[in-house]
């Protein structure tokens, strides 16, 4: 998935009930503090204006709960307005209760943190700017912090500026950190979902074998009846009869259908079918063949004797993964890709090397993660071909699920190209 996809508004919808529940918690906290300060400690403060601000949040929550269903999702613009309301409501409460001298001023950053976790960057930046402006205003304009009637708290300017700096620095750090963590979680979730879709597709293709076998079994009886009736009709009709030729054609086609159904009935049942198990050299050629038509020479080197060559099952995960690696090699190769295969008694080793620009050092660190940038300045053999992000992630995940170890590197010779090595255990019954 490319970074710009995260600006797609439909991927940042949030449940309205989530924001409503968070606001209920804020209302509970604000009401508790007001009750303690004005009721228990009996500090003089503008209670009525504070209660009006709390009631505004209560009314908004009641309206949202009554007007919209619990599963209602809102887009980023509506969520931004909702969080902006919460920010302004809290800023107004702080103005009435000491501004930046109020220890609860740090809560101004909470709506921005929620935005960083759920909304696109531009909304988070706007909300963070609003919080910073509100904090700056509250550093100079505010009513006194509620305190005992016969004493006055005087805060030095340096303390107020320190509180302002703490709020702004926490705002910047927290929003950036939460945005990065939430973004990585979204990318990983999307990549895993794509991987599951690939695996599910392969599973569906495999399930077709069983469905075909079941269909062949069910169709066998009516087809046998058709063949029997056609045979009796053929016997009953004289040779010179015009229908003789049509009846013979019907018998031939019925026999052909029986042969097809016979082949279908064995799909997915016999694991020793020569089509389900192939020598490693044949499997590699099947993987490479679709990529030979793009102006890049693909050379396969089999280092080993035919006598002890491994025989592999047609593993869809391994074939998809290796095919994706070969596709990327062809995409970035200038003229040639070399696929080298060797084996021993324990492992099978496949080395795929191209003569392209190779991997950037930063890419090597992150290859196999859901999002990796393309090679700067690389000329691809196929325009519009995939990059090095989600496809590589899926390929690596599928092969590792089958016990393979995947290693990405550059050729020892500078500027020669990228090298991908795949090693997995050799089947115990091969060779």
pLDDT score, position 389: 59
What is the CATH classification number for the domain harbouring 410? 3.30.565.10
Note the Cα 393 to chain centre separation in Å.
Answer: 10
Residues with Cβ within 8 Å of residue 172, at least 6 apart in sequence = 128
- Of the listed ranges 74-78, 190-194, 229-233, 269-273, the one predicted with least confidence: 269-273
Residues 38 and 175 in one domain: yes
Question: What is the tally of structural domains in the chain?
Answer: 3
Residues 258 and 311 in one domain: no
Q: Rg of the Cα trace of the chain?
A: 35
Strand-pair partners of 352: 339, 420
Residues 186 and 226 in one domain: no
Which structure tokens are listed for 123?
């909304």
Residue of 164 and 291 predicted with greater confidence? 164
For residues 264 and 324, the answer to whether their CB atoms sit within 8 Å is no
* pLDDT higher than threshold 80 for residue 306: no
Q: Which of 264, 289, 305 is the last residue of a domain?
A: 264
Q: How many CA atoms lie within 13 A of 383 on its CB side?
A: 0
For residue 283, with 0-12 CB atoms within 10 Å meaning exposed, 13-18 middle and 19 or more buried, which class applies? Answer: buried
**Average model confidence (pLDDT) across the chain:** 80
Helix (H, G, I), strand (E, B) or coil at 234: helix
Q: Which of 142, 176, 197 is the last residue of a domain?
A: 197
Note the Cα 70 to chain centre separation in Å.
Answer: 26
Residues 369 and 406: their CA atoms lie apart, in Å, by: 13
Note the Cα 194 to chain centre separation in Å.
Answer: 6
Residue of 349 and 249 predicted with greater confidence? 349
Domain assignment of residue 58, yes or no: yes
pLDDT score, position 12: 66
Binning pLDDT at 50, 70 and 90, where does residue 425 land?
confident
Q: Is the dihedral of CA 362, 366, 368, 374 positive or negative?
A: negative
pLDDT score, position 271: 45
Q: Which of 342, 264, 261, 266 is nearest to 300 (CA)?
A: 342
Domain assignment of residue 202, yes or no: no
Most confident of the following: 8-12, 293-297, 323-327, 365-369: 323-327
Element of type H or E holding 218: helix 157-236
Residues 239 and 388 in one domain: no
Q: Which of 321, 372, 392, 369 is nearest to 185 (CA)?
A: 369
pLDDT score, position 216: 64
Strand-pair partners of 297: 336
Residues 151 and 137: their CA atoms lie apart, in Å, by: 25
Residues 264 and 273: their CA atoms lie apart, in Å, by: 13
Residues 189 and 219 in one domain: no
Reported as a single tens digit per residue, the pLDDT across 123-182 is 999 999 999 999 999 999 989 888 887 777 788 889 889 999 999 999 999 999 988 888
Q: Which residue has the tokens 């035919």?
A: 306
Residues 186 and 46: their CA atoms lie apart, in Å, by: 44
Domain assignment of residue 398, yes or no: yes
Residues 193 and 248 in one domain: no
* pLDDT higher than threshold 60 for residue 268: no
Domain assignment of residue 350, yes or no: yes
Question: How many other CB atoms are there within 10 angstroms of residue 123's CB atom?
Answer: 22
What's the whole-model pTM score?
0.54
Residues 362 and 220 in one domain: no
Residues 170 and 240 in one domain: no
* pLDDT higher than threshold 60 for residue 429: no
Q: How many CA atoms lie within 13 A of 109 on its CB side?
A: 21
Residue of 220 and 60 predicted with greater confidence? 60
Q: What's the distance, Cα to Cα, between the start and end of the chain in Å?
A: 41
Reported as a single tens digit per residue, the pLDDT across 370-381 is 654 444 444 454
In order, the DSSP letters of 148-162 are: -TT------HHHHHH
Reported as a single tens digit per residue, the pLDDT across 4-62 is 443 444 456 788 888 889 999 999 999 999 999 988 888 888 999 999 999 999 999 99
Residues 180 and 241 in one domain: no
Residue of 140 and 411 predicted with greater confidence? 140
For residue 16, with 0-12 CB atoms within 10 Å meaning exposed, 13-18 middle and 19 or more buried, which class applies? Answer: buried
In order, the DSSP letters of 32-73 are: HHHIIIIIIS-----HHHHHHHHHHHHHHHHHHHHHS-TT-E
E-state strands within 246-324: 277-279, 297-303, 311-313
> In this structure, are strands 405-410 and 418-425 parallel, antiparallel, or unpaired?
antiparallel
Residue of 229 and 407 predicted with greater confidence? 407
Residues 245 and 334 in one domain: no
* pLDDT higher than threshold 70 for residue 214: no
Q: Which of 200, 197, 195 is nearest to 370 (CA)?
A: 195
Residues 241 and 358 in one domain: no
Residue 239: which domain range?
A: 207-264
Q: Which of 149, 177, 197 is the last residue of a domain?
A: 197
Domain assignment of residue 180, yes or no: yes
Residues 214 and 321 in one domain: no
pLDDT score, position 11: 54
Binning pLDDT at 50, 70 and 90, where does residue 272 land?
very low
Residues with Cβ within 8 Å of residue 246, at least 6 apart in sequence = none
Domain assignment of residue 430, yes or no: no
For residues 339 and 426, the answer to whether their CB atoms sit within 8 Å is no
């Amino acid at each position: 998935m490319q970074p710009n996809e995260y600006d797609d508004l439909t991927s940042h919808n949030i449940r309205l009930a989530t924001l409503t529940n968070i606001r209920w918690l804020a209302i509970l906290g604000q009401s508790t503090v007001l009750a303690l300060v004005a009721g228990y400690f009996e500090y003089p403060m503008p209670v009525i204006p504070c209660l009006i601000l709390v009631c505004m949040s209560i009314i908004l929550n009641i309206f949202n709960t009554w007007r919209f269903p619990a599963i209602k999702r809102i887009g980023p613009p509506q969520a931004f307005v909702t969080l902006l309301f919460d920010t302004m409501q809290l800023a107004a409460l702080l103005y009435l209760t000491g501004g930046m001298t109020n220890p609860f001023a740090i809560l101004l950053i909470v709506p921005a943190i929620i935005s960083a976790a759920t909304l696109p960057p531009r909304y988070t930046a706007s909300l963070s700017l609003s919080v910073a402006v509100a904090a700056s205003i509250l550093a100079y304009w505010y009513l006194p912090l509620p305190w005992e009637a016969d004493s006055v708290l005087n805060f030095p300017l340096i303390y107020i500026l320190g509180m302002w700096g703490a709020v702004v620095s926490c705002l910047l750090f927290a929003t950036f950190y939460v945005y990065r963590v939430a973004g990585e979680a979204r990318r990983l979730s999307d990549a895993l979902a794509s991987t599951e879709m690939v695996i599910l597709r392969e599973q569906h293709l495999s399930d077709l074998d069983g469905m075909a076998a079941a269909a062949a079994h069910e169709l066998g009886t009516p087809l046998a009846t058709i063949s029997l009736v056609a045979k009796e009709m053929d016997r009953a009709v004289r040779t010179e009869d015009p229908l003789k030729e049509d009846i013979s054609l019907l018998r031939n086609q019925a026999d052909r259908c029986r042969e097809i159904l016979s082949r279908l009935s064995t799909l997915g049942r016999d694991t020793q079918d020569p089509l389900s198990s192939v020598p490693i050299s044949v499997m590699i050629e099947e993987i490479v063949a679709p990529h030979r038509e793009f102006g890049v020479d693909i050379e396969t080197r089999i280092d080993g004797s035919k006598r002890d060559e491994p025989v592999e099952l047609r593993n869809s995960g391994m074939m998809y993964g290796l095919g994706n690696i070969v596709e990327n090699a062809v995409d970035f190769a200038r003229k040639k890709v070399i696929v080298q295969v060797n084996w021993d008694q324990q492992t099978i080793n496949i080395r795929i090397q191209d003569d392209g620009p190779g991997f950037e050092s930063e890419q090597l660190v992150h290859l196999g993660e859901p999002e990796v940038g393309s090679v700067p300045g690389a000329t691809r053999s196929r325009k519009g071909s995939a990059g090095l992000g989600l496809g590589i992630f899926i390929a690596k995940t599928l092969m590792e699920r089958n016990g393979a170890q995947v290693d990405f590197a550059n050729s020892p010779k500078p500027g020669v190209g990228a090298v991908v090595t795949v090693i997995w255990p050799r089947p115990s019954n091969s060779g």
